[in-house]
């Protein structure tokens, strides 16, 4: 079971992502964007990690989305291999059209991850880059999506975010209803009790319906703004979390990588 962790110029989370991949028992390697794209077919799954590909020039993820390696990745997605895009990886998947990736859109860009606009009580209280620990509620049924395959519906995960453009917006008619109806909304931002409160500081970037992660129609492609690799071990958790004192315990982010592994095992 071999995973390619894609590296574009400006990616900066590839090494810790690779540690997470290997720590759940998968093999993995960093795959530079300028390697022959055809070599991707030798892998069982893919992670596009976070960072600032091409320095976020023009808008986050768009320049990377035009690279040949992404065309090859579309083909791999088409045959059901799992892909997880984390933060900048999510932005790249959106700009490529792999997410939300309906069967009818033929790779069109159906949504955007716009600049963060934090709203509270009808007022903009903050905008731009923001990093913090957030609570996520798993919205999809288990086994719906490769990256949350082994996570039960309603589970809460504490995972950090760090981005400037995570505000999910769309003008595609009916898209939000479709995402909700078909279980493509994978995680939402919530409070510590799992309540969805569509305002800052719970909705950390102004994202429509507090959406933090979505998958494509078949469920093999997941994009998420939070960084599970930064909450993979309990010792990575913030000081106020009691689990930090139990460093042998797994962190909540581990479940995303375990899910990917389980998805591959089941679908092999």
Q: Which residues of this chain interact with other proteins, rule CB under 8 A?
A: 54-55, 57-59, 62-63, 66-68, 95, 109-112, 114-117, 124, 127-128, 169-172
Q: How far is 107 from 16, CA to CA, in rounded Å?
A: 30
Instruction: Confirm if 154 and 138 have CB atoms less than 8 A apart.
Output: yes
Can you read off the two tokens belonging to residue 51? 């960072």
DSSP string, 50-78: -B-GGGG-SSTTHHHHTSHHHHHHHHHHH
Which residues make Cβ contacts (< 8 Å) with residue 258, sequence separation at least 6? 24, 150
Q: Which is nearer to other proteins, 54 or 149 (CB)?
A: 54
Instruction: Confirm if 3 and 14 have CB atoms less than 8 A apart.
Output: no
Task: State the minimum distance, in angstroms, from the CB of residue 197 to other proteins.
Answer: 20
Residues serving a catalytic function are 87, 227, 229
Q: How far is 69 from 24, CA to CA, in rounded Å?
A: 26
Task: State the minimum distance, in angstroms, from the CB of residue 8 to other proteins.
Answer: 12
Task: State the minimum distance, in angstroms, from the CB of residue 167 to other proteins.
Answer: 8
How crowded is residue 121: how many other Cβ atoms within 10 Å of its Cβ? 7
Q: Which is nearer to other proteins, 210 or 220 (CB)?
A: 210
User: What sign for the dihedral angle of Cα 184, 49, 104, 57?
Assistant: positive
Task: State the minimum distance, in angstroms, from the CB of residue 170 to other proteins.
Answer: 5
Task: State the minimum distance, in angstroms, from the CB of residue 149 to other proteins.
Answer: 29
Q: Which is nearer to other proteins, 174 or 242 (CB)?
A: 174
Q: Which is nearer to other proteins, 76 or 95 (CB)?
A: 95
Which residues make Cβ contacts (< 8 Å) with residue 57, sequence separation at least 6? 63
Which residues make Cβ contacts (< 8 Å) with residue 159, sequence separation at least 6? 133, 134, 136, 226, 227, 228, 230, 231, 252, 253
Q: Which is nearer to other proteins, 64 or 234 (CB)?
A: 64
């Amino acid at each position: 079971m071999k995973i390619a962790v894609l590296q574009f110029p400006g990616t900066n989370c590839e090494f810790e992502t690779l540690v997470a991949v290997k720590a759940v028992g998968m093999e993995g390697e960093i795959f530079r964007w300028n390697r022959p794209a055809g070599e991707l077919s030798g892998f069982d799954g893919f992670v596009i990690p976070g960072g600032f590909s091409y320095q976020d020039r023009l808008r986050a993820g768009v320049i990377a989305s035009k690279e040949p390696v992404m065309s090859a990745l579309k083909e791999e997605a088409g045959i059901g291999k799992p892909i997880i895009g984390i933060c900048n990886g999510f932005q790249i998947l959106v700009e490529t059209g792999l997410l939300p990736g309906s069967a009818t859109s033929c790779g069109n860009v159906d949504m955007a991850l716009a600049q963060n606009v934090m709203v509270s009580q009808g007022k903009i209280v903050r905008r731009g880059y923001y990093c913090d620990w957030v609570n996520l509620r798993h919205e999809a049924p288990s086994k719906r999506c490769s990256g949350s395959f082994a996570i039960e519906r309603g589970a809460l995960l504490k995972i950090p975010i760090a981005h400037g453009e995570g505000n999910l917006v769309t003008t595609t008619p009916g898209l939000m209803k479709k995402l909700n109806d078909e279980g493509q909304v994978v995680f939402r931002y919530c409070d510590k009790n799992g309540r969805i409160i569509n305002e800052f500081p719970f909705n950390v970037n102004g994202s429509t319906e507090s959406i933090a992660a979505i998958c494509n129609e078949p469920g093999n492609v997941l994009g998420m703004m939070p960084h599970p690799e930064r909450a993979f071990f309990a010792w990575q958790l913030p000081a106020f979390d009691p689990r930090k004192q139990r460093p042998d315990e797994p962190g909540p982010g581990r479940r995303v990588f375990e899910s990917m592994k389980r998805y591959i095992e089941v679908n092999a």
